[in-house]
Amino acid sequence: MDIFSFLQSGLSAIVPFVILLGILIFVHELGHFLVARWCGVRVEVFSLGFGKKLLTYKRGDTTYALSLIPLGGYVKMFGEQNGEGISEEDKKVSFTHKNVWQRIAIVLAGPLMNFFFAILVFFVVALIGEDAKTPVLGDVAVNSPAYTAGFRSGDQIVTINQKPITTWEDVQRALSLKESHDLHLDVDVKREITGESAVISVTAKPEPNPNVLSSFDYIANVEGISPYSAGTTVGVFASSPLHALGLRTGDSITSINGVKVSYWRQLDSTLAKLNTQEPLTLEVLGQREGDKTAKTITITMAPSASLKSFSLQNLGLESSELYLARVLEGSPAQAAGLRPGDRLVKINQVTLQKWEDVLNNIKSFDGQKPVALSVVRDGKTIDLEITPKMTKQMTAAGAEEKRYTIGISPIANIAMPELMTLRSSNPIDALIRGTEKTWEVSVMTVMSFVRLFQAKISPKNIGGVISIGQAASETFKIGITQFLQMMAIISVNLFILNLLPVPVLDGGHLVFYVIELVKGAPLSLRKMEIAQQVGLAILMSLMIFALFNDFTRLLGL
């Protein structure tokens, strides 16, 4: 990478971060500033950033400043640090000499501004429109409880117990439970192919909510219901006629003779309708050696006299999920000789059907005999022995677990759920949506602290400025809606964090004032100084830990 590209990539990451953090800091400090002025306190400095002042502008009693370190800001109020030695005249504009309720209002204004700003941002997002998962079922496995009850792949859920369903989020909300109990469901669905309606009655069983950040402890589960489907990424046998024409393992079929395909379940049915006496044309998305991004490739097979019909099997195609995309450096898999592109066939003489079979077999390793593994490479079967290694893995819920792994990952074959644009029709609906969304994020943020203390979430999930910078940069690249949503989420986090009862933070000051209300007199200056020092030590320790986590993730450690 040349110096220009390096600087350009660096700037592209820094600019969104500065914009996001700058706006949130401004909003927070503006809350303190406005209420302080409203209460008659003289504000001496309003600064965005810390350290050396780069730009200053004075108007009235206040100096407005832009400072060197853009990781915070402050509002310096007259009489804030020491109320002694102030003349009777100046006591009227001194922070310390305001009554306790006014001081509480000034301190509380900063966090509350972040909360209300999040509502405003989510309000704007609701008017612009945001992406949401459609309430459409993914693959419903035959013989699953969902299939037995009458659900089919591609069903669109219209209502659950007479409640209208618009998004998959509505489905999850309808199935959320505070307590463990069976839940009878009457589900109105619209069939994918025929468009006909059907009402399915089923009893859902309670199980622990996999979303540890939810305030609902249980969900009503019908096994087999999910928004996810297998995609169209193929594994290609060396003997396949399409392999000779350039189709490769890891390619995703996007259309067959002009008919768009999105899911694995559509491939065989689409192929079966074709005449083998006519050419077969596939549009595929794949990445070739030397290409940085995937490109669309057209592959055309001449009419075939030897085939009576087209199918995945007679074309030599299968799902890619048992093919290896990656073998980790220094892993047991690499030591045993596994390579990217290998097709897993058996583990301990058990034939593998899906990637879940691989995970279950490796996780059940007893720590004694090596695992016998068979793979196909270049059309030949190779037998290997691997000794799995105990490693720490982060679960989807954010918890850390120890389990045996060998250091491999598959060529994933999952189609992302279909998305829809969810847009509020009028400002009132948008305001309601913005308020609801802000409240949901607030609950999730509070629950994240609760789960941390309960050890249900690993402390390794705590991130610092680098994590915020990465999130700002990535969402900025995706689009304005995603960037605004990230801004609102971080604004809510600042609201909650600043209310923590830690001296130095706004929440710590509020604790002092509550004690003053109860006692009828403020804490001694000495006690507050000691508390501030302890709070500063806690805050610095947390920042260092978060920064350590950031660098650990960045370096892949």
Residue 145 confidence (pLDDT): 93
How confident is the model over 367-422, as pLDDT tens digits? Answer: 788 889 999 998 899 999 999 888 877 666 666 677 888 889 999 899 988 889 99
Residues 313 and 238 in one domain: yes
In the chain, the number of structural domains is 4
pLDDT number for residue 6: 44
Q: Same domain, yes or no, for 181 and 235?
A: no
> In this structure, what token pair is assigned to residue 373?
């593994």
Position 505 scores a pLDDT of: 87
Report the relative pairing of strands 343-347 and 371-377 from DSSP bridges.
antiparallel
| Max avg pLDDT among 203-212, 282-291, 486-495 | 486-495
CB under 8 Å to 530, separation ≥6 — which residues?
none
**Whether 332 and 265 share a structural domain:** no
For residues 249 and 328, state if they share a domain: no
Q: What are phi and psi of 288, to 5 degrees?
A: -105, 160
Of 277, 296, 317, which residue sits at a domain end?
317
Label residue 83 by pLDDT band (50, 70, 90): low
Among 160-174, 356-370, 405-419, the least confident range: 356-370
Whether residues 274 and 240 fall in one domain: yes
Domain presence at residue 221? yes
> Which 3 state secondary structure label does DSSP give 467?
helix
For residue 17, pLDDT over 70 is answered with yes
- Same domain? 350 vs 371: yes
In whole angstroms, what separates CA 455 from the centre of its chain?
A: 20
* Residue whose tokens read 């009554």: 99
44 in any annotated domain: no
% of the chain exceeding 90 in pLDDT: 53
More confident residue, 162 or 466: 162
- In a domain? residue 385: yes
Q: Which residues pair with 414 in a beta bridge?
A: 230
Pairwise CA distance, residues 83 & 99, whole Å: 13
Tell me the mean pLDDT in the region 183-207.
92
Residue 177 sits in the same domain as residue 256 = no
Q: Indicate whether 316 pLDDT > 50.
A: yes
> For the chain, what is the mean pLDDT?
88
Q: Which helix (H) or strand (E) holds 544?
A: helix 525-555
- Is residue 423 in some structural domain? no
Q: What letter would DSSP give residue 460?
A: G
How far are the Cα atoms of 90, 139, 348, 365, 376 from residue 386, in angstroms, in the given order? 78, 33, 11, 11, 16
Which of 358, 388, 413 lies at the terminal end of a domain, its last residue? Answer: 413
d(CA 32, CA 110): 5
**End position of a domain, from candidates 362, 383, 413:** 413
Binned at pLDDT 50, 70 and 90, residue 456 comes out as confident
pLDDT tens profile 122-159: 999 999 999 999 999 999 999 899 999 999 999 999 99
Does residue 222 sit in the same domain as residue 264? no
Examine residue 427 and state whether it is found in any structural domain, yes or no.
no
State whether 404 and 300 are in the same domain. Answer: no
Is 80 exceeded by the pLDDT of residue 347? yes
Residues 159 and 189 in one domain: yes
Place 476 in a pLDDT band, splitting at 50, 70 and 90: confident
Tell me how far apart the alpha carbons of residues 543 and 548 are, in angstroms, rounded to a whole number. 9
Q: Are residues 237 and 267 in the same domain?
A: yes
Residue 515, domain member (yes or no): yes
Q: What are the residue numbers of the active site?
A: 29
Instruction: Return the structure tokens found at 58.
Output: 């004075």
Higher pLDDT, 557 or 433: 433
Domain region containing 384: 324-413
Q: Is residue 204 part of a domain?
A: yes
Kindly report the CATH number assigned to the domain that includes residue 393: 2.30.42.10
pTM: 0.82
Helix (H, G, I), strand (E, B) or coil at 314: coil
| H-assigned helices in 266-365 | 267-272, 332-336, 355-363
Q: Which of 363, 553, 394, 534 is nearest to 468 (CA)?
A: 553
Query: Quick check: is 458 in a domain?
Result: no
Q: Which two tokens stand for residue 532?
A: 């501030």
Instruction: State how far the Cα of 359 lies from the Cα of 344, in Å rounded to an integer.
Output: 12
Check residue 464 and give its pLDDT. Answer: 77
Q: Are residues 223 and 237 in the same domain?
A: no
